[in-house]
Chains A and B, each alone.
Chain A
Amino acid sequence: MRYWWVLVRKEWQLELKQKYAVNGILLYLIGSVFICYLSFNLQPNALNPVIWNALLWILLLFTAINALSKSFVQESAYRDFYYYTLVPPQALIMAKMAYNAVLMLGLGVVGFGLYALVLGNPVQDMGLYSLAVIIGCVSFSSALTMLAGIAGKARNNGSLMAIMSFPVVLPILLLVIRIAKNAMDGLDRSESAGYIWVLGAISVILGTLSWILYPYLWRS
């Protein structure tokens, strides 16, 4: 636990030091929102709520994969060995996961805010939609952190990360789109409760598996 907090702070300081990474991702997100805005501008009212919702989540998914695939290749292999001698591996993966969750939350809030600003906001139940964004971003982090670790070890980062993460993240994406859709239509919250539980359970399981499996991955 002590190590964990130190490592989370280390991630944060590293990010502050190398501002280009997070700024690049932010620009990527803003750029893609703007592209959507300009593309759908051709015909007013072409963007119906279902497309609005799906488009936002696809944007967030691509941002997540781009942002989190960096999490294990920012530092050199030698520094990995150094950490290996200092801290338990579980603390490291948990720190990365927590940091990634916070990063994704930030990106999710910025992305959603900007998206709603330029493309309009048809959401009826804002509270539930915000919850969907929060839980979606945290789940993305719990699934993608470990996959980024695997892709980083395979040293063929870009394409492998995409190939591995799309099918693994899909159950999460399907659930979160459904919750978001319910929130958008203003359905009763009890309709979405089951999905939220399942989503939470998947995230906890993937997080726990990362905790168990990362020590094995690290050794190679």
Chain B
Amino acid sequence: MKILKARWWKVLAVILMLVTFVGGFLIRIPDVGALDESIRNLFFHVSMWFSMVLVLTVSLVYAFRYLSTNKLTYDLLSTQYAFLGIVFGMLGLVTGSVWAKFSWGAWWVNDAKLNGAAITMLIYLAYTVLRSSIEDLQSRARISAVFNIFAYAAMVPLLFILPRMTDSLHPGNGGNPGFGTYDLDNTLRLIFYPSILGWTLFGVWIMSIRTRVQWLQLKRDELI
């Protein structure tokens, strides 16, 4: 909790977001064939998915920590990270949809990767429904932590195994090359890596504010 109040990483988040937006829109794009200028979506769509997987993993870790310590703080963090994962996932779907329209010609195509992503969203929305259906704080925390871990295990094959076993339009799957092959002179990486960190930090900032608000509400209602 301490580190969430520190200031330095929020400054870093702002700088990295500026780098992502300014650099992402202004940088000179290397020759990437048919993708052309739409490759700039790499700094938004792809890095949002990276951030989503990252924060959902953190949510999983906090679910484990809650189960081993029974501290409600961890439950709060686990939930808020899962919520953050949902936000990034939705944004990832929207940005991906725009990209699909311009490079494949349709807003949504029937593709293993896309369907997996949509199902992942369903899993975590089910998590929020589960949470809201239980009144008691401790049992809500425990039951949802159990579901969180269980759901994560079901999500991994959906996003990382099944798309690689079938034909897919999506880069990096079904025998398609990922972006590493396009980026011959490393200019894309120069923005791509900072953008992943930037989106993650930016998300964690929002998450930390929500966590603290919830924490104060619990304190006010004398539940902790």
Contacts and interface: CB of A to CB of B under 8 A. Distances in A.
B64 to A, nearest CB: 10
A219 interface: yes
A154 B162 CA distance: 31
Interface in A118-169: 143, 146-147, 150, 153-156, 160, 163-164, 166-168
Interface in A193-220: 194-195, 198, 202, 205-206, 209-210, 213, 216-217, 219-220
A21 interface: no
Interface in B108-142: 119-120, 122-123, 126, 129-130, 133-134, 136, 138-139, 142
B133 A150 contact: no
Contacts of A156: 133
Contact of B143 (A153, A167, A206): A153
B133 A154 contact: yes
B142 A168 contact: no
A35 interface: no
B146 interface: yes
A209 B138 CA distance: 21
A216 B154 contact: no
A175 interface: yes
Contacts of A153: 134, 139, 143
A87 to B, nearest CB: 19
Interface of B: 67, 119-120, 122-123, 126, 129-130, 133-134, 136, 138-139, 142-143, 145-147, 149-151, 153-154, 157-158, 161-162, 165
**9 nearest CB pairs, A to B:** A220-B139, A167-B122, A167-B123, A168-B154, A163-B126, A156-B133, A220-B142, A213-B146, A171-B157
Interface of A: 143, 146-147, 150, 153-156, 160, 163-164, 166-168, 170-171, 174-175, 194-195, 198, 202, 205-206, 209-210, 213, 216-217, 219-220
Given A153-B134, A198-B157, 14 more contacts: A153-B143, A154-B133, A164-B147, A170-B158, A171-B119, A171-B162, A174-B162, A195-B165, A202-B154, A206-B153, A209-B149, A209-B150, A213-B149, A216-B142
